[in-house]
């Protein structure tokens, strides 16, 4: 599975937008880009995924670069509950197994 | 509806003992995954089931680890002769229908295993 690179940590103020970047320069044409997050003392939680086009759901938006070598998870209005570790994961195989990296720890300040 | 449940939530055992960790997936989910997470690290894949069969066990660290899913729903992760390095949170996840690169996985709260 192709590798992703994310910043170790980011900070945001409550009710402001947050842009979480992810680089995946070795992505292949069949790799899906998934984002999960893990709140303290909980299991990971699915956030969003995409292949080529930008995606929106109730939790977030996913902006995918035209060459697909990077993507950005956008939280439109951060809340304290959004403080978590965010993982950007590429999935290419039919097993769907998730290969987690270190993720980005997001701190949200009131 | 009910999510993925795992029991026990915490397990403390002594080095050399045998432990079993249980996972109840979401009803109707045919794909089931086990991961483990050490402190400060992201989860690490262990094994995945499609129905009753283990389709990919490439993440199991050694032959002390074994998992079963005899009826295609509940799964048990079994660890023999536990070692202190096995201490971690063991996470279970399930997904609908065939495991694929686009189905989301639903995670349980995990079992925290401590080997003294």
Quote the minimal CA–CA distance from A5 to chain B in Å: 13
Q: Do residue B101 and residue A96 have CB atoms under 8 angstroms apart?
A: yes
* Rounded distance between C-alpha atoms, residue B37 and residue B16, angstroms: 21
Nearest CA in chain B to A88: B42
Q: Which residues fall within 8 angstroms of residue A63, CB to CB, at 6 or more apart?
A: A54, A71, A72, A74
Question: What separation, in Å, do the N-terminal and C-terminal C-alpha atoms of chain A show?
Answer: 38
What integer pLDDT is reported at residue A79 of this predicted model? Answer: 96
Q: How many whole angstroms separate alpha carbon B56 and alpha carbon B73?
A: 17
DSSP line for B21-57: EEEEPPTT--EEEEEEE-TTS--EEEEEEETTEEEE-
Q: HSE-up of A52 (CA within 13 Å, CB side)? A: 5
Position B68 confidence tier, pLDDT thresholds 50, 70, 90:
very high
Angle at A60 between CA A59 and CA A64, to 5 degrees: 150
Q: In whole angstroms, what is the distance from residue B97 CA to residue B83 CA?
A: 35
Question: A1-10, A20-29, B19-28 — which is least confidently predicted?
Answer: A1-10
The owner of tokens 């402001």 is A16
pLDDT digits (tens, 9 = 90+) for A51-60: 999 999 999 9
Beta carbons of B45 and A98 less than 8 Å apart: yes
Task: State the pLDDT confidence band at B112, using cuts at 50, 70 and 90.
Answer: very high
A85: nearest CA partner in chain B? B42
The alpha carbon of A41 is separated from its chain's Cα centroid by a whole number of angstroms, namely 19
Instruction: Please tell me whether the peptide bond between B8 and the residue prior to it is cis, using omega within 30 degrees of 0.
Output: yes
- Which of A35, A44, A58, A86 is the best mutation test for B, with the most CBs of B within 10 A? A44
pLDDT digits (tens, 9 = 90+) for A26-43: 998 888 999 999 999 999
Tokens 């994961």 -> residue: A89
Q: How far apart are CA A73 and CA A52, in angstroms?
A: 14
Q: Smallest Cβ distance to B43: which of A44, A51, A93?
A: A44
DSSP one-letter code for A31 = P
B43 CB neighbours in chain A (<8 A) are: 44, 98, 100
- For residues A50 and B40, give the distance between their C-alpha atoms in angstroms, rounded to a whole number: 27
Cβ(B2)–Cβ(B27) below 8 Å: yes
Give chain B's contact residues with A (Cβ, < 8 Å): 4, 31, 33, 35, 41-45, 48, 55-56, 59, 91, 93, 95, 98-110
- pLDDT above 60 for B1: no
């Amino acid at each position: 599975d192709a590798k992703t690179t994310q910043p170790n940590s980011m900070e945001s103020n409550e009710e402001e937008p947050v842009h979480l970047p992810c680089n995946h320069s070795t992505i292949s044409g069949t790799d899906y880009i998934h984002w999960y997050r893990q709140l303290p003392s909980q299991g990971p939680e699915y956030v969003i995924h995409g292949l080529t086009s930008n995606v929106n759901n109730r939790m977030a938006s996913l902006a995918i670069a035209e060459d697909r070598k990077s993507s950005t998870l956008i939280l439109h209005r951060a809340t304290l509950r959004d403080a978590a570790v965010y993982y950007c994961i590429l999935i290419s195989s039919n097993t769907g197994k998730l290969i987690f990296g270190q993720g980005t720890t997001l701190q949200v300040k009131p | 509806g009910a999510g993925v449940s795992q029991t026990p939530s915490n397990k403390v055992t002594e080095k050399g003992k045998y432990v079993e960790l249980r996972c109840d997936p979401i009803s109707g989910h045919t794909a089931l995954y086990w991961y483990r997470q050490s402190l400060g690290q992201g989860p690490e894949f262990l094994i995945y089931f499609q129905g009753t069969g283990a389709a990919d066990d490439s993440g199991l660290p050694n032959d002390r680890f074994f998992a079963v899913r005899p009826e295609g729903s509940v799964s048990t992760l079994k660890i023999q002769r536990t070692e202190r390095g096995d201490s971690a949170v063991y996470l279970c996840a399930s997904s609908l229908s065939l495991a694929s690169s686009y189905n989301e996985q639903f995670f349980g709260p995990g079992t925290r295993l401590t080997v003294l």
